[in-house]
Structure 1
Amino acid sequence: MIAPMKKALLPAFALLALSALPASAASFQSCLAAIGARAQAAGVSPAVFARQTNGLQPDMTVIDAMNKQPEFKTAIWDYMAGLVDAQRVADGKQMMSKYASVLAGVQRRYGVDPATVVAVWGVESNYGESPGTRPLVQSLATLSCYGGRRQGYFMGELIATLKIIQRGDVNPDHLVGSWAGAFGNTQFMPSTFLRLAVDGDGDGRRDVVDSVPDALASTANYLAHSGWQPGARWGYEVRLPASFKPGLAGRTRKRALSAWTAMGVTRTDGSPLSGGGSAGILLPAGPRGPAFVVFRNFDAIYAYNAAESYALAIATLSDRIKGGGPIVTPWPTDDPGLSRAQRKELQALLIRAGYDVGTPDGSIGDKTIEAIKGAERRLGLPVTGHPGLTILQALRKG
């Protein structure tokens, strides 16, 4: 998802109007009427607005989803285990082969490493299999009326969605996506689509939903605009000396590689640091976990969705797709995260033990968490609800 935390820049009159928008579900239609005036002022025809909003009802589940973003709530080792697993790596390699000619053209035009583009696709929608199911207009209208301090941002995205529909780039019936309005193979926010989506297949339309070439080219264009440096690496895992001061770490606290080398930082195999330009040291799990040198291209990935865990998932997945190995340094936990295959196995074992988790699909929701807690109580384990290796191994033993 592209930067859902960023605020839209709206005219002052629009921001002032938001303070008067109603906060009750019964007043949803009044809220829509106020948004309709803003949409018309922004160039959306009354007919398009009416077709998309007549009879529309709010979906209040998006408000709950807004407060449960995994990039900010989930432990890094759980987040990474679910996104950079063997299946996603294998599927990514297949997509690299299937779309080799498209990706070659994208690289020539935008200078972005094909594996990184494919990794974004894999993390954002599992290569198009999971682009989201929420109708954009409904979700964004709900958030425009009930999104609290972020109403202004979401109203801008709703108006951008209506402009996309008016332009005819994407089939309106296919404009479904995440709770926040990100849509398509690589989950563009509507305003970002208007700015940076491109026609990758030459049909005259920018369709990141039904055209994989459009989605891949648009993603590369986004990364290029975010400062991607052709031919350079995003970074790599490193080994820190015992004397390293964690306060020196930080993605934006960049120094010359020679400065890090002087402190005793090396690659994990002990070889010297290499690469061009300055770099920061990233400690996603603190000083006891893996450490990474990160360059400008890591920042370009970060710009796609402002979370370091997200950027690290894409960066490491891209390396794995190209044949690289997994992260060397263990995460600082005694209960490592599970791959999607292991999560499905966990759910199947919970069902066999008599717990209701719904369909064993590898997605950890409230039912699975409550079932884990029940199983932990029965097995005499600390009750955490954590879908990690500890409960999986315990259930395997019966």
Structure 2
Amino acid sequence: MILTRRNFTLGCAALGLSACGGTGAIVSPAPQTGLPADLRPVPNAGYDAWVAAFRPRARAQGVSDATLNTGFRGAGYLPGVIERDRNQVEFRRTLEDYLSIAASDERVTKGRAALNRHRSTLNALESRYGVDAEIITAIWGLESFYGERRGNVPVISATSTLAYDGRRGSFFEKQLVSALKILQNGDITASRLTGSWAGAMGHTQFIPTSYDTFAVDFDGDGRRDIWSDDPTDALASAAAYLSRNGWSRGTRWGAEVSSGAAEGRVIQPQPGGPRFAVTRNFNVIKRYNNSDSYAIGVGHLADRIGGAGPLRGSFPPDEFGLTKRDRIALQERLTSRGFDTGGSDGVIGPKTREAISAYQASRGLPATGDPSVELLRSL
């Protein structure tokens, strides 16, 4: 079996909504910063013994001693990787919440600018691979916020830590071997081989085995460089990935049924919400991330980048009886009272819940953190 992104059903990287599968990966627009202390190597005798035992297995798969020495120089056990892997929250956001972030005004605006800035490259990719320029741009936007969040965790340390931990040891040992072969092939130096805490790399967040199978050298410099500030190879690799997984040139991903331009299988991911007619290309996007929400997020963001407006259909009130407009009003009123919700996007996330709890405590109420119609009225 070829290990592709579809097999990588992890909550990848400390990235906003992120979960590579299930809820779909959406990357926070926060700027990249230095590594926290728990993502820096610490002494671990068990890990060291595991690496020593791994070396012969790597050699048997074609990894040279020189590459092993280079790859593991400065590498080590990262406790924060294990903590993140074991404490992934299993939850599902509604499609409405997902799209509020996936196709936010900021992401759409940045996407249109990115499309215009790299128009010649994206047009060339569309010509070569048949994948719409807007679709490639949308994947870039969801995976790394147009390159602003590529991840800075050393991939050798991350994948070897997870392989040693053993919960998915076989999977991550394959990723580690592929990462070492990336170094051996000269595509990147050890210091620049970085990614998410779970090993997803570059502008389009390829795991090492997917990189090995699908990455391309589109700019012709002899290296498949998906990490560079120049996103050319990364965007080309995403296009190649979709193309080789069956993308149909000239076919839309789908459309909202109410748009009047819908053909294909009809789905309604959120009860009471908009319905979508989806094509075979929708399923190809799911090869990148096996989630209906992710595929709709990519397709809808691509449409918005291309100039389309918001969805026409409406979503029902949430479990608390609040519409998106209500939730935005709640966030705005809390923030105006000094209880920072971290923004007013209508998504009730941890920051909003913290603000609600603080407000409730200030009023002598039980600090549940739950929104409600009554809370909105009290504000």
TM-score category (smaller protein): 0.7 to 0.9
CA deviation after TM superposition for structure 1 residue 373, in Å: 2.6
1:330 to 314, 327, 334: 314
1:323 & 1:71 partners in 2: Cα distance?
Answer: 35
CA deviation after TM superposition for structure 1 residue 335, in Å: 4.0
CA deviation after TM superposition for structure 1 residue 94, in Å: 0.9
Q: How does 1:76-225 map to 2 (within 5 A)?
A: 76-148=95-167, 150-210=168-228, 211-225=230-244
2:182 & 2:273 partners in 1: Cα distance?
Answer: 44
Alignment correspondent of 1:291: 275
- Inter-CA distance 79–389: structure 2 relative to 1 (3 Å threshold): farther
Percent identity over the alignment is 37
1:36 aligns with 2:55: yes
Provide Cα deviations, 1:344-398, integer angstroms capped at 9, x if missing partner: x879939944x7x9x9899998676444433344458885546x89899789x5x
**Secondary structure in 1 matching 2:252:** coil
CA contact (8 A) 1:281 1:292 kept: yes
Alignment correspondent of 2:36: none
CA deviation after TM superposition for structure 1 residue 63, in Å: 3.0
CA contact (8 A) 1:5 1:306 kept: no
- Inter-CA distance 25–200: structure 2 relative to 1 (3 Å threshold): same
User: What is the letter of the counterpart of residue 267 of structure 2?
Assistant: L
CA contact (8 A) 2:266 2:277 kept: yes
Structure 1 gap ranges (5+): 8-23, 239-267
**Secondary structure in 1 matching 2:101:** helix
1:5 aligns with 2:28: no
- Inter-CA distance 293–2: structure 2 relative to 1 (3 Å threshold): same
2:377 & 2:195 partners in 1: Cα distance?
Answer: 37
User: What is the letter of the counterpart of residue 160 of structure 2?
Assistant: A
Comparing 68-77 and 305-314, the one that deviates more: 68-77
- Inter-CA distance 291–81: structure 2 relative to 1 (3 Å threshold): same
CA deviation after TM superposition for structure 1 residue 57, in Å: 2.9
CA deviation after TM superposition for structure 1 residue 80, in Å: 2.0
> TM-score, normalised to structure 1's length?
0.74
Aligned CA RMSD, in angstroms, stands at 3.6
Give the length in aligned residue pairs: 336
CA deviation after TM superposition for structure 1 residue 323, in Å: 1.0
**Secondary structure in 2 matching 1:91:** helix
Provide Cα deviations, 1:204-229, integer angstroms capped at 9, x if missing partner: 21101103111111110000011110
- Inter-CA distance 309–89: structure 2 relative to 1 (3 Å threshold): same
CA contact (8 A) 2:254 2:276 kept: yes
Alignment correspondent of 2:335: 349
Alignment correspondent of 1:260: none
- Inter-CA distance 67–5: structure 2 relative to 1 (3 Å threshold): farther
User: What is the letter of the counterpart of residue 335 of structure 2?
Assistant: L
CA deviation after TM superposition for structure 1 residue 324, in Å: 1.1
> TM-score, normalised to structure 2's length?
0.77
CA contact (8 A) 1:125 1:186 kept: yes
- Inter-CA distance 208–54: structure 2 relative to 1 (3 Å threshold): closer
1:312 aligns with 2:330: no
2:183 & 2:98 partners in 1: Cα distance?
Answer: 34
CA contact (8 A) 1:4 1:180 kept: no
User: What is the letter of the counterpart of residue 214 of structure 2?
Assistant: L
**Secondary structure in 2 matching 1:236:** strand
User: What is the letter of the counterpart of residue 349 of structure 1?
Assistant: T
CA contact (8 A) 1:6 1:153 kept: no
1:169 & 1:347 partners in 2: Cα distance?
Answer: 51
- Inter-CA distance 232–206: structure 2 relative to 1 (3 Å threshold): same
User: What is the letter of the counterpart of residue 154 of structure 1?
Assistant: F
- Inter-CA distance 225–382: structure 2 relative to 1 (3 Å threshold): farther
1:390 & 1:29 partners in 2: Cα distance?
Answer: 55
- Inter-CA distance 68–109: structure 2 relative to 1 (3 Å threshold): farther
1:321 aligns with 2:305: yes
2:95 & 2:362 partners in 1: Cα distance?
Answer: 28
Structure 2 gap ranges (5+): 11-42
**Secondary structure in 1 matching 2:5:** coil
CA contact (8 A) 1:289 1:331 kept: yes
